[in-house]
Amino acid sequence: MPASLIQVKDLCKNYKKFNAVKSVSFDIPRGQIFGLIGPDGAGKTSIIQCLAGVLSANRGEVSINGINCLKNPEKVKSIIGYMPQGLGLNLYDNLSVEENINFFRELRGVSDKTFLANRNRLLEMTRLAPFLKRPAGKLSGGMRQKLALICTLIHLPDILLLDEPTTGVDPISRRDFWEIIHDIVSERGVTVLLSTSYMDEAERCHQIAMMHQGEFIAQGTPAELAKTMRGQLLDISTPTGDNLLQTLRDWPMCETVVQIGQHYRLLAADNIDNQLDLESSLRASLKGSLSQQIRIKHPSPSLEDIFIQHTSTEKTAHLSSHIFESSWAKQKQIESAIHTTNISCQFGDFKAVDKVSLTVKPGEIFGLLGPNGAGKTTLIKMLCGLQNNSGGSAQVIGYDTASEKRQLRHRIGYMSQKFSLYRDLSVVENMHLYSGLYGIKKAVREQRIEVLLTQLDLAGLGNRNTLSLPLGIRQRVALACALIHQPLLLFLDEPTSGVDPVARRQFWEIVHALAENEGVTIIVSTHYMDEAEHCHRLGFMQQGRMVITGTPDQLKQQAEQIDGSLVTIESEQFSAAFEALKPEFSNAIYYGRRVQWQSKTPQQDQNHATKILEQSGIAATVGCHPLSIEEAFVSFIQHDLSLQDQLGAA
Amino acid sequence: MKFFRRSKALAVKETRELFRDPTYLGLSFFIPVLLLQLFGYGLSLDVKNLPIVFVDTNNSSISREYIDSFVHSEYFDLIDITRNAEQAHELMQRGTARVVVELPTNFSRNLVSGKSVAVAVTVDGSFPTRASIIQSYISAINAKNNLELIQQMADQYGLNADALMPIEMRLSVWYNPALESINMIVPGILVLILMLFPAILGALLVVREKEDGTIFNLYSSPIRSWEIVLGKAAPYVVVSFIDYLIIYAASILQFDVRFVGSFWVISSAALLYCICTIGMGLLFSIITQTQLAAMLLTFLLTVTPAFSYSGFTTPIASMDSLGQFIAHLIPATYFMDIVRGSYLKGLGFEHYASDIASLAIYTAAIYTLCIALLKKRIG
């Protein structure tokens, strides 16, 4: 028996002249969760497809359990379960949940006994049993993905190949999804290879490989990768929310600094090891009261930090001056950019938006979060004047959305990464089109285009065909198009999904500058949690209602009050640690190589866990982790759901 | 039995999807029947009720009798009798009239005095077939009038009229005695519909899963190419055969088409033909990447040649050698032969053996290609 279940050696795959995979090698031992992590177009899908026996390679060797996947592709197909990319894309929409499962069972020739036991277990884990008769096309995104997973697992494969299984899935379903994966891995020793473009998700894997432009740029456990980080990371914030960007950039120790919401993430040069020295040096460089007021934390590097350090070779150009001709947005005196009172939208019996009252200040970056169908899109349509209210009223940048739609539309912009651009037109042609749509005069147009191209780091790309540009650049082109009429309010719909972290940081830098320098108010609608961190303030939506609003920090603190803090156990023997702790802490779950649970008595739990682990002879680090935005979101939504249930019961 | 289990699973899935998708259901049953109605009633090649105008400057009892001989036939509808030739030509220009017949002022005088007279006939030639049919109708009616005049003359002078017309032609028409075009068109439509719809349905079968992404379920499972082809084709062969039965019944019950052949012969040929046309669609589905491309290919390579070269409108024998060559490359030609023969002539099975053998070879070749080209890989 070979040492590793999956072996990939020197794999190369070209599509015509494009090298999608450039000499990649890795091994995956039995029972491991291996994550391929990287932005869209990094080559993840090609690797998975070669392993699934549905794609040929130009060079190299790929084998599963000793079977050559390139030469005998049909032989591996009975031992693998392959889930292609896309939300439940392997399902037949017209067939019911049950019929879909049965189809896969027959296709794989699963015997009755195995089938029944496995089916019931999977239905229970996914909580899909009540929906057996519902057509797959009428399930929510998260449910579809769970059904797709059942269909992939129905024949009890030893190897799971999952291509971006959690892209576009809401956080609660995503958590369910990961629990199922960890369950089948610990129960049956299944080997999992999955790809993802979420850096935060990769921490749930045992072993990860970071991919960029067809190559592995780093490989190892999440902890090993964290050690490759050069320099010191600092998280800086002020209680008053002052803009420190330029000041921090001028600090000689500073290598890079980015604004994330109201925090600054700064990478300091390597030459000072002592954290205290570094802090005092930073405080000394600040003027007046700021030097005392700022809070400095030392976060552990995220995979995104590591990815950026490995891929960005030169410093990206910073915005030098204004993007708009005059910061006229600032000059228009309005108290609030958005002010709604109890606006609702009802389709028949269905309340798409249910009495939402919301106020957003000018120049604020506000994030609208919620699962698919929570009402985000309808709310945005109402704020743009594209959808009539069935109740309440809304003022957007001083205009009433019901009576002043025309004036309103000239003052707002909209950008969605997926749908904004005409891909057969060049960059400038796209911008001309948008100027035409907003009736901008030719003389003004050429000047604005020039400024936008320079400021958004698109210089020299004006005549390129949009289709030929990488995703990250295309997304800045879409932004440029949305800015050509200099809107006061900008709606961004999942603007950075799938984009590589370097381009993503650059994008957010522009967004922050728009809010700060031009006074543009920005509304971001997303269910990607890392986009949420960039907002000044967030609103969580659920079933048409605004469940809660607040700054990311406030929301995390409030969530800890609901469900408690996160107790984490990090250990080389994480499976043994889990077995030892599970009887005492029933809500403990695997999180990659960590074991963790939420607790209202974190200190007590930590002491208790330390004692148990010592008695079992397991070396481990016991600690307390701050909640992520995603965990906060899940807490609020579940809390809200249980409240609704109580109301319903009463 | 594992093989058939997988094909069966696929067939069950296809059938369920078919019955739950209104588009596919319509494409399978409703539209073929609708098309039969549209063509069956609309595509008649019989020319009747032609609008005719007479310019009668003679206005005598003899001229009116001559005009009556036209009006009393079922082929012409009288629009107007006028004295003004220009007015008649205007009616022709506007399309109100298709034929103008001008009788000269001396029409009755010449005839009474035993002189010949010229009648000017103008025919709208925009549709050549129609014009030539009009021409023959008018010649026939005119000949009949001449015959009566000769008879009258002969009687008048006491001669034997037969001696003036020594050869008489006695025409009899076999297979379609009334020469009704419906007997030829409806069976032809049967062949075309069973070419077009099974091919379209087949063309969507694989490529739709490619567009949706579900094709990876099949690619990444142990199912074999031939099992996929079998599982996908089987339900649609049944659907197409049901279409055949519906069209067959309608041809006899609704359109009163003569059918003198054997139901079993035509039905077994129809089954083979359906298998073949589904296979053609499947083949296009396998080699294309989008539904649009598959559809275009289907239109281009199935119904277009079938319409022009299968002998639907023009007999194959009257095509040039290239046309005849193409005709033998398409399955519709062989099936057309069997269908027309069964409806109109009613020969035994042995007369169609070579047609059926050709269809069978064709079908086998199509399916071999399908299985060979269905690679469970994307590149």
Q: Compute chain A's Rg from CA coordinates.
A: 26
Q: Cβ separation of B216 and A56 shorter than 8 Å?
A: no
- Kindly give, in sequence order, each residue whose CB lies less than 8 Å from that of residue B233, ignoring residues fewer than 6 positions away: B202, B205, B275, B278, B279, B282
Q: Per mean pLDDT, which of A266-275, B72-81, B232-241 is the most reliable?
A: B232-241
Q: What is the DSSP string of B29-64?
A: IIHHHHHHHHHHHH------SEEEEEEESS-SHHHH
How far is A643 from chain B, CA to nearest CA, in Å? 38
Cross-strand pairs, A28: A6
Q: Compute chain B's Rg from CA coordinates.
A: 29
**Phi, psi angle pair for A262, to nearest 5°:** -105, 15
Name which of A47, A94, A105 to mutate to probe chain B: the one with the most chain B Cβ atoms within 10 A of its Cβ: A94
Per-residue model confidence as pLDDT tens digits over B320-371: 899 999 999 999 999 999 998 899 888 878 888 999 999 999 999 999 999 9
Q: Cβ separation of A107 and B9 shorter than 8 Å?
A: yes
- Structure-block tokens of residue A60: 């190299």
Q: Cβ separation of A89 and B8 shorter than 8 Å?
A: no
Contacts of A87 in chain B (CB under 8 A): none
* Inter-CA distances, B310 with B278, B297, B322, B330, Å: 18, 18, 13, 7
Closest partner residue to A54 (CB to CB) among B10, B219, B222 is: B219
Closest-CA residue of A relative to B5 is A106
DSSP state for residue A131 in the 8-state scheme:
G
- pLDDT for residue A302: 85
Q: State the ipTM, two decimals.
A: 0.80
Q: Domain A230-300 belongs to what architecture?
A: 2-Layer Sandwich (3.30)
Mean pLDDT for B9-29 is 92
How far is A82 from chain B, CA to nearest CA, in Å? 7
* Separation of alpha carbons A433 and B14, rounded Å: 44
Q: Which of A76, A80, A74 is nearest to A63 (CA)?
A: A76
The CATH homologous superfamily of the domain defined by B50-164: abc type-2 transporter like domain (3.40.1710.10)
Contacts of A80 in chain B (CB under 8 A): 220
Q: Cβ separation of A80 and B378 shorter than 8 Å?
A: no
* Separation of alpha carbons A4 and A207, rounded Å: 13
Q: What is the mean pLDDT of chain B?
A: 88
User: For chain B, what percent of residues have pLDDT higher than 70?
Assistant: 96
Contacts of A104 in chain B (CB under 8 A): 217
* Separation of alpha carbons B224 and B371, rounded Å: 9
Give the neighbor-by-neighbor strand order of the sheet with A33-37: A80-83, A159-162, A191-196, A33-37, A207-212, A215-220
Consecutive H or E run containing A265: strand A263-268
Q: Which of B183, B182, B49, B70 is nearest to B121 (CA)?
A: B70
Q: Cβ separation of B6 and A106 shorter than 8 Å?
A: yes
Name which of B217, B226, B232 to mutate to probe chain A: the one with the most chain A Cβ atoms within 10 A of its Cβ: B217
Per-residue model confidence as pLDDT tens digits over A534-555: 999 999 998 899 999 999 999 9
Contacts of B375 in chain A (CB under 8 A): none
Closest partner residue to A92 (CB to CB) among B6, B13, B378 is: B13
Residues of chain A scoring pLDDT < 50: 1-2
Consecutive H or E run containing A548: strand A545-550
Contacts of A52 in chain B (CB under 8 A): 216, 219-220
- Kindly give, in sequence order, each residue whose CB lies less than 8 Å from that of residue A629, ignoring residues fewer than 6 positions away: A529, A532, A533, A538, A552, A555, A556
Q: Cβ separation of B378 and A94 shorter than 8 Å?
A: no
Q: Cβ separation of B376 and A103 shorter than 8 Å?
A: no
Q: Which of A393, A386, A440 is nearest to A414 (CA)?
A: A386
* CATH number at A555-649: 3.30.70
Q: Cβ separation of A56 and B379 shorter than 8 Å?
A: yes
Q: Cβ separation of A94 and B12 shorter than 8 Å?
A: no
How far is A139 from chain B, CA to nearest CA, in Å? 17
How far is B224 from chain A, CA to nearest CA, in Å? 9
Is the domain defined by A6-223 classed in CATH 1.10.150.130? no
- pLDDT for residue A12: 94
Closest partner residue to A95 (CB to CB) among B17, B212, B378 is: B17
- Structure-block tokens of residue B2: 């594992």
How far is A141 from chain B, CA to nearest CA, in Å? 16
Q: Cβ separation of A54 and B218 shorter than 8 Å?
A: no
- pLDDT for residue B242: 96
User: What class is the A328-548 domain?
Assistant: alpha beta
* Separation of alpha carbons B24 and B21, rounded Å: 5
Q: Cβ separation of B21 and A49 shorter than 8 Å?
A: no
Give yes or no on whether A6-223 and A328-548 have one common fold: yes
Per-residue model confidence as pLDDT tens digits over B267-302: 999 999 999 999 999 999 999 999 999 999 999 999
Closest partner residue to A77 (CB to CB) among B8, B214, B222 is: B222
Residue-wise over B194-232: b if at least 16 C-beta within 10 A, else e? bbbbbbbbbbbbbbbbbeeebbbbbbbbbbbbbbbbbbb
* Separation of alpha carbons A126 and A150, rounded Å: 8
Per-residue model confidence as pLDDT tens digits over A31-49: 999 999 988 888 999 999 9
How far is B302 from chain A, CA to nearest CA, in Å? 29
Closest-CA residue of A relative to B212 is A89
For the four alpha carbons of A304, A309, A311 and A315, in that order, the dihedral sign comes to positive
pTM listed for this prediction: 0.82
- pLDDT for residue A443: 85
Residue-wise over A111-143: b if at least 16 C-beta within 10 A, else e? eeeebeebbebbbebbebeebeeebbeebbbbb
Q: Cβ separation of A15 and B213 shorter than 8 Å?
A: no
Q: Cβ separation of B220 and A53 shorter than 8 Å?
A: yes
Would the pLDDT of B2 be above 80?
Answer: no
* Separation of alpha carbons B93 and A607, rounded Å: 105
Residues of chain B with a CB closer than 8 angstroms to some CB in chain A: 2, 5-6, 8-10, 12-13, 16-17, 20-21, 212-214, 216-224, 376-379
Q: How many CB pairs under 8 A join A and B?
A: 84
Give the neighbor-by-neighbor strand order of the sheet with A399-400: A350-360, A338-347, A391-396, A399-400
Contacts of B379 in chain A (CB under 8 A): 15, 55-56
- pLDDT for residue B194: 94
- Kindly give, in sequence order, each residue whose CB lies less than 8 Å from that of residue A592, ignoring residues fewer than 6 positions away: A33, A203, A204, A205, A206, A222
* Separation of alpha carbons A176 and A136, rounded Å: 18
Name which of A12, A107, A112 to mutate to probe chain B: the one with the most chain B Cβ atoms within 10 A of its Cβ: A107
Would the pLDDT of B119 be above 50?
Answer: yes
Q: Per mean pLDDT, which of A120-134, B227-241, B308-322 is the most reliable?
A: B227-241
* Inter-CA distances, A607 with A569, A577, A610, A624, Å: 12, 15, 5, 11
Closest partner residue to A84 (CB to CB) among B5, B6, B216 is: B216
- pLDDT for residue A242: 76
How far is B379 from chain A, CA to nearest CA, in Å? 5
- pLDDT for residue A1: 43
Contacts of A73 in chain B (CB under 8 A): 376-377
Would the pLDDT of B263 be above 70?
Answer: yes
In chain B, where the domains are located: 2-43+180-373, 50-164
Closest-CA residue of A relative to B376 is A54
Consecutive H or E run containing A339: strand A338-347
DSSP state for residue B343 in the 8-state scheme:
I
How far is A171 from chain B, CA to nearest CA, in Å? 24
The distance in angstroms from the start CA to the end CA of chain A is 61
In chain A, where the domains are located: 6-223, 230-300, 328-548, 555-649
- pLDDT for residue B177: 67
How far is B367 from chain A, CA to nearest CA, in Å? 21
Closest-CA residue of A relative to B228 is A107
- pLDDT for residue B44: 66
Alpha-carbon torsion, ordered A626, A628, A632, A634, to 10 deg? -130
Q: Cβ separation of B8 and A108 shorter than 8 Å?
A: no
- Kindly give, in sequence order, each residue whose CB lies less than 8 Å from that of residue B310, ignoring residues fewer than 6 positions away: B188, B191, B192, B327, B330, B332, B333, B335, B336
How far is A51 from chain B, CA to nearest CA, in Å? 10
Mean pLDDT for B32-38 is 90
- Structure-block tokens of residue A104: 């896969």
Angle between helices B2-20 and A97-108 (to 10 degrees): 160
Contacts of B12 in chain A (CB under 8 A): 103, 106
